[in-house]
A = this chain, B = another copy of it.
Amino acid sequence: MAEELDVPETKVLAIASHVAYGYVGNTMASFIMQSLGCEVTAINTVQYSNHSGYRQVKGRKTTAEEILQLYEGLKQSYLTDFDVLLSGYTPSAEAVEAVGKIGRELRFKSTTKPGSFFWVLDPVMGDDGRLYIPEDEVPAYKSLLREADLILPNQFEAELLSGTKITDVQSLATAIRVLHTIYRIPHIIITSIRLHPLTGRTLPSTTDTPELGPGEQETMTCIGSSATSSFHPRLFRIDIPAIPVFFSGTGDMFAALTVARLRAEAASAHVDNNSGWTSPDDVASTDLPLAKAVEKVLASMQAVLVKTYEAMQEELKGLENAVQGLGKGEEDREAVEKRRRLLRTKAAEVRVVRNVGLLKKAPEEWSEKFRAKEVELENGTPTENGRKPDELGVTKLGGDGEGAIHIETA
């Protein structure tokens, strides 16, 4: 009765946050990776009551020293035979450095066993032009990039790390090229970019849906690339229908699913274990294991988020009953609004455990629609546009990132 799992046994060290209630960080990622058959060792960088979407949180950060101590504990009992490191939210620059120390040590250890270590780095720093970590974490993250095999920034984080302002697919492709070239990162995925349907310009996730024609639905775009041996990008994109709600933890969900799916795709493809599961140069972007993996990841996510959206609508029907008992006076209005907001946030928690089947097997309804496409660029591919990295104003940002952190997406 053992279940058929299409992901090979994979030992993952997951360093991210723990929340008691709800699904973000390791609370999201561990369960998903385990459900897909991975052995997960979770070092929790915080223990919080809930995620920050509730705008009020209690709990405690794990110190950098404690993170290193936990790793020491693993080492002294010979428990560090990891295939993958997935690092996510880390609450201080010192803690990012601690994660870097761990990642480098695992990388060094793996040099005797090529291909035995793969680092997925989710540089959780901010969104929509706003940092939600201390400023000194940005250079700390930059100093890790050279060690990472796959990074998963959002648009804002990609701008910070590449020093490239992203306004459309063309500049996004440039940012990816910079990250491949400067930091020698084999794989990059920039998740959920909103592009204006007419102008093709990026939109901040906070703006309203642009005017759409009849039957049109707003889409989100995910763009990825696995570099060639000379670190040229091979770009693919997948467009998915947008759901008009902000769900917390979707980045962690994406990362966890990607670890499992990429591992499975890499195992069945001809990837080079010596250098971060890279594919031969003649593999087209849409045939990359990364592209195949992301197709499945997005299909599973879409299915679970649609279920979540439906369940949320159902739950919100009872919302007005729940707040009705509260006071009616002017001074109570704020309390009622707060209660309403908290109930909405709770209703938007991703419905993970009852929909785990959709994660284990990407539903065909979606996976047939979410096929990776070549990225079409007006001025040719960013590897052909004749500009060198230092002409992009990037090399000066390889250091401490000063000036980059105030970028605002318009």
Interface residues of A (CB under 8 A from B): 1-3, 5, 9, 18, 20-22, 27, 30-31, 34-35, 37-44, 47-50, 54, 56-60, 62, 66, 69-74, 76-79, 303, 307, 339, 342-343, 345-346, 352-358, 361, 363
Closest to A55 in B: B77
Residue of B34, B50, B303, B352 near A1 (CB, 8 A) is: B303
Of the candidates A48, A50, A62, A71, the one having the most CB atoms from chain B within 10 angstroms of its own CB is A50
CA distance in complex: A362, B47 (Å): 34
- 27 A-B pairs (CB sep. < 8 Å): A1-B363, A3-B356, A18-B42, A20-B70, A22-B79, A34-B356, A35-B356, A37-B353, A37-B354, A44-B44, A48-B70, A48-B73, A50-B73, A50-B74, A56-B76, A56-B77, A57-B73, A58-B70, A58-B72, A58-B76, A59-B66, A77-B342, A77-B345, A78-B339, A78-B342, A78-B343, A79-B346
CB distance from A316 to the nearest CB of B (A): 14
Is the beta-carbon distance between A354 and B5 smaller than 8 angstroms?
yes
- Which residue, of A35, A354, A363, has the highest number of chain B Cβ atoms within 10 A? A354
Known: A50-B77, A58-B76; 8 extra A-B contacts, CB below 8 A, are A1-B361, A20-B73, A21-B74, A21-B77, A30-B31, A34-B356, A49-B69, A49-B73
Given contacts A78-B343, A79-B49, A357-B2, contact A41 B20 (CB under 8 A): yes
Q: When chains A and B are docked, how far (Å) is the Cα of A2 from the Cα of B41?
A: 27
In the assembled complex, how far is the CB of residue A76 from the closest CB belonging to chain B, in whole angstroms? 6
Is A49 a contact of B77 with CB atoms below 8 Å? yes
B-chain residues with CB within 8 Å of residue A5 when the two chains form the complex: 354
A73 neighbours in B (Cβ, 8 Å):
20, 48-50, 56-59
| With A2-B357, A37-B354, A54-B77: A42-B20 Cβ-Cβ less than 8 Å | yes
- Residue among A21, A42, A71, A346 having the largest count of chain B Cβ atoms under 10 Å: A21
> Which residues on B sit within 8 Å (CB–CB) of A66?
47, 59-60
A-B residue pairs, 4 tightest by C-beta:
A49-B73, A58-B73, A3-B357, A21-B79
Q: Which residue of B lies closest to A33 (CB)?
A: B353
Copies in the complex: 2
Contact A354 B69 (CB under 8 A): no
A376 to B80, CA, bound (A): 50
The answer on a CB contact under 8 Å between A50 and B38 is no
Partner of A18, one of B35, B44, B345, B358: B44
Residue of B nearest to A53 (CB): B77
CB distance from A95 to the nearest CB of B (A): 14
A2:B307 contact, CB within 8 angstroms: yes
Q: Assess A355 versus B41: contact at CB under 8 Å? Given A47-B47, A54-B77, A74-B50.
A: no
Distance from A67 Cβ to chain B, minimum over Cβ atoms (Å): 10
Shortest Cβ gap from A319 to chain B (Å): 11
Query: Does B69 lie within 8 Å of A41, measured CB to CB?
Result: no
What chain B residues lie within 8 Å of A50 (beta carbons)? Answer: 73-74, 77, 79
Question: Shortest Cβ distance from A340 into chain B, in angstroms?
Answer: 11
**Which residues from chain B contact A44 at a C-beta distance below 8 Å?**
18, 44, 47
Nearest chain B CB to A183 CB, angstrom units: 28
> Which chain B residue shows the least CB distance to A34?
B353
Nearest B residue to A341 via CB reads: B77
User: What separation, in Å, do the CA atoms of A76 and B346 have in the docked complex?
Assistant: 12
Which residues of chain B are near A38, meaning CB under 8 Å? 353
A54 vs B75: C-alpha distance in the bound complex, in angstroms? 12
